[in-house]
Structure 1
Amino acid sequence: MLLEPGFGGLGYIEAVKKRGHELLVLTQREENPQERGYAHLLTDKIVVDFEDFKTLVNTLKANQHFSKIKAILPAMDENTHTASRLAGSLGFRAAPYEAIMAGRYKDIGRKVCKEKNIQTPQSIKVRTEKEARAAAHALGYPVILKPADGAGSAHVTLHNTETSLLEEVNLLSTVKTNYGYPVNGEFLIEEFIDGQEFSVEIFMWDSQVKFASVTEKHTTPPPCFVETLHVVPTALFKEEIPEIIHFAVSALTAIGYSDGPAHVELKLSTSGHYFLIEINPRIGGDMISTDLLRISFGMNMHDAHICWALEEPYPFPSSQALCATAISFLLAPTKGRLLKVAGWENLSQQAGMVKHALFHKIGECVFPPTENAERLGYLICKGDTPHIAKEHVKSALESLSIEISS
């Protein structure tokens, strides 16, 4: 059974069906399975409010398929804690709930990691404009503002002045949901760490690292940090890979995360120090898990997670990459209607091209993104080395011209 697959969670559905299992989905909206394109693959769906845990449990137990459930997994960042609690309460294999909470809620993770001597940016939790002003004064500008329970780079911004910071705090105070889930109204004010960002894609099984790969990450310039390019495995700081993985695993150990996939984000600062940015107790999104890891390593994170939940063996691949892959995202340069992406029809002829897709239709209104969900589309290329894969995808992106009406 899966909880509310988002678009990044469709890999779970693919893996479940490939294994010949039936699929039951818990969802908060009747329309979600149809809108996300997997309604025809379900054995059944249960529409229920995830915030009412008692009703959630009772509704599931009353379903005609309850006795056939063998595993319960999350298929979206926002429900990792709910899935852990639900699976554990019903006797299914579950990742440690406290560890999930420390990953899901950034303030909890910051506190735990600080106690375990994992280096993180200085951070202060706030709720009000007054608290935000005081926190920024204590840390000193520039500062990062981010929701304590956010996801997908939504509302993560850099601020150099009090005016800018308080404007964004007031705006965030009006935001009640993120990807359809209620937010708790708490934010973090943090010091800004300048440096190269990475993510580490890890699979833990009984406290053992079964797979780990370092992803090179690039974003738009501040104030927003929209992700623009990922390379698997990293083309930069390759000699640092063992240390990067060790740092990420130490962070997981610090919060007690012993089982399942994790997407750990960190920075190697310009001063040469590692800083933990986020621990995400889930599979990496942005096509990292659905495409890049599968092509580069033959690693299927979704299938491995299902095997772990069912206590079945999974053939983890070698840490030696078969090849390298890179994904680059298209961004709207200005606001207006999308008229054309010139050169799109020739992308299949570009060196190393694997796949490409647009998220928007011609004629739709587009604008420069402030979060990942607002990008136009993507290109994925592969190559014999990370540098080659990165150059292929950059070349393919440069071959395109985005035409937008004023």
Structure 2
Amino acid sequence: MTKIMILGAGIYQVPLIETAKKMGLYTIVVSIPGNYPGFALADKVYYENTVDEDKILAIAKKERIKGIVTAGTDVCMKTVGRVCDAMGLNGLSYEASKVAVDKMLMKSRYEEYGVRTARFRQVSFDDTDIKKTVQELEFPLIFKSVDSSGSRGIIRVDSFEEFDSAIQYVRENTRKDYFLVEEFIEGEEFGAQAFAYDGNVSFILPHGDYVYQGDTGVPIGHYAPYNLSEEVIEDAKMQLRRAVKAMGLDNCAINADFILKNGKTYVLEIGGRCGATCLAELVSIYYGFDYYEKILRTALDEDPDFSFKKPRTPNASHLLMSPKDGVIKSIENLNGPNDNICDVQFDYEPGDKVHKFHVGPDRIGHIITKGETLEAAQELLFKAMDNIKIEVE
């Protein structure tokens, strides 16, 4: 039986595991111990840290896997690259994975290859005069951990008085002795999902983002198609292709974060895996194929066949969140049967503890809708959300 290794057992790896099972693959799931839903679905589980490259490589060789993948997280991307290189598997290279998980390397490559991005500086935690180091940058600024995933270790800074607390926050969310400071670009945040296969970018799907405004913007939902002029879309695609080349990404899904300012696309960062927050589902619904299956087939060195035969289907998604820390008292879905409500998922049950929303992992579920038009999909999304009652006390 063909063996596939999936790194991570969390909510964003579950659809990958389920799809692999449907394809008849033997699933080997690796994650640290915890209450993760993917464990129950796997054919075999290894309770190991997915950032332990040597350990995971040893397991991969022992099991003679034919492919290795993850979804929705950057944490283990270097491990994916290491195993792919060492075993001759199809997927992200180790060199590309190192760039994809280090925002400083990424930004340096962007600068080298002419990718439009915010001005930045590398700053050491031991720097005795950080104000001087970043003096050429204009407020507001963003302080970033270069090796964290999602929105962790990222904070907006509007004045010198905020430096000390911001530096401390970043220090708590990194394993490096340096961090990134870049100018905060005031503009419209959006993203794109894409796929690099056999030296080419197979598709690029720009999407709009619903953003939660905390210390920084945190995506809490997405929609496609995104209403942009053809000129802006072509500019975004050009910047993405340049970034993919700069990073050396190939045979992997791509998750891109952009800012649109004055009609020009600035690249925030790009990951060598599919996005979280229902983005793989957005691609699947929009194009009419199972995106998780395409990811798995690529990892197994099979032709993923990105031909698009069906009409494009507008769709929208949104996380379900709690406004406070507490325990779920009740969950009620008052939505009736509706073919255009694609999925309503709850990650927790009554009696479970949940956190006030700050970052993506604080989600307590999601909802996905579609429609003949984007407006119809979005209207249904928010009506359906109003019909979901979650009481937290």
Instruction: State the TM-score, normalized to the length of structure 1.
Output: 0.84
Counterpart CA distance in 2 for 1:363 and 1:133 is: 48
Larger proportion of helix: 1
**Among 263, 278, 282, the residue aligned to 1:287:** 278
Pairs aligned (count): 387
Counterpart CA distance in 2 for 1:402 and 1:25 is: 31
Matched, 1:257 2:249: yes
Q: How does 1:184-195 map to 2 (within 5 A)?
A: 184=176, 186-195=178-187
**Among 219, 236, 239, the residue aligned to 1:244:** 236
Matched, 1:199 2:191: yes
Matched, 1:93 2:86: no
- Match of residue 344 from structure 2: 356
Contact conserved, 1:297 with 1:322, CA < 8 A, in 2? Answer: yes
- Match of residue 73 from structure 1: 69
Q: What SS is found at the alignment partner of 1:391?
A: helix
- Match of residue 138 from structure 1: 136
Counterpart CA distance in 1 for 2:389 and 2:70 is: 38
- Match of residue 179 from structure 1: none
Contact conserved, 1:84 with 1:94, CA < 8 A, in 2? Answer: yes
Q: What percentage of aligned pairs have identical amino acids?
A: 22
Closer, same or farther in 2 for the Cα pair 1:21/1:252, shift >3 Å? same
Deviations along 1:177-198, whole A, 9 cap, x unmatched? Answer: xxxxxx4354221111111222
Closer, same or farther in 2 for the Cα pair 1:175/1:117, shift >3 Å? closer
Counterpart CA distance in 2 for 1:396 and 1:12 is: 26
Which amino acid is 1:57 matched to? L
Contact conserved, 1:266 with 1:275, CA < 8 A, in 2? Answer: yes
Counterpart CA distance in 1 for 2:55 and 2:276 is: 30
- Larger mean Cα displacement after TM superposition, 394-403 or 326-335: 394-403
- Match of residue 57 from structure 1: 57
Deviations along 1:1-41, whole A, 9 cap, x unmatched? Answer: 324223212232122212212122343x2x35xx3233344
Deviations along 1:73-127, whole A, 9 cap, x unmatched? Answer: 3444211121111121122223232222212111101001101110111122224
Closer, same or farther in 2 for the Cα pair 1:85/1:247, shift >3 Å? same
Which amino acid is 2:88 matched to? G
Counterpart CA distance in 2 for 1:232 and 1:57 is: 38
Contact conserved, 1:295 with 1:325, CA < 8 A, in 2? Answer: yes
Q: How does 1:299-378 map to 2 (within 5 A)?
A: 299-318=289-308, 321-335=311-325, 337-339=327-329, 344-348=332-336, 352-362=340-350, 366=354, 368-378=356-366
Q: What SS is found at the alignment partner of 2:105?
A: helix
Counterpart CA distance in 2 for 1:369 and 1:186 is: 28
Which amino acid is 1:167 matched to? S
Contact conserved, 1:261 with 1:281, CA < 8 A, in 2? Answer: yes
Q: How does 1:210-225 map to 2 (within 5 A)?
A: 210-225=202-217
Which amino acid is 2:116 matched to? Q
- Larger mean Cα displacement after TM superposition, 323-332 or 347-356: 347-356
- Match of residue 392 from structure 1: 380
Moved over 6 A (4+): none
Q: What SS is found at the alignment partner of 1:20?
A: coil
Which amino acid is 1:374 matched to? D
Q: Is there any run of 5+ residues in structure 2 with no aligned partner, and where? A: none
Counterpart CA distance in 2 for 1:21 and 1:266 is: 35
Deviations along 1:219-259, whole A, 9 cap, x unmatched? Answer: 12352322233102224556633332232122112222132
Closer, same or farther in 2 for the Cα pair 1:348/1:212, shift >3 Å? farther
Closer, same or farther in 2 for the Cα pair 1:247/1:299, shift >3 Å? farther
Q: What SS is found at the alignment partner of 2:236?
A: helix
The alpha-carbon deviation at position 398 of structure 1 amounts to: 4.4
Matched, 1:23 2:27: yes
**Among 112, 117, 120, the residue aligned to 1:120:** 117
Which amino acid is 2:382 matched to? K
Which amino acid is 1:283 matched to? C
Q: What SS is found at the alignment partner of 2:244?
A: helix
- Match of residue 368 from structure 2: 380
Contact conserved, 2:369 with 2:380, CA < 8 A, in 1? Answer: yes
Closer, same or farther in 2 for the Cα pair 1:329/1:245, shift >3 Å? same
Counterpart CA distance in 2 for 1:99 and 1:323 is: 33
Q: What SS is found at the alignment partner of 2:254?
A: strand
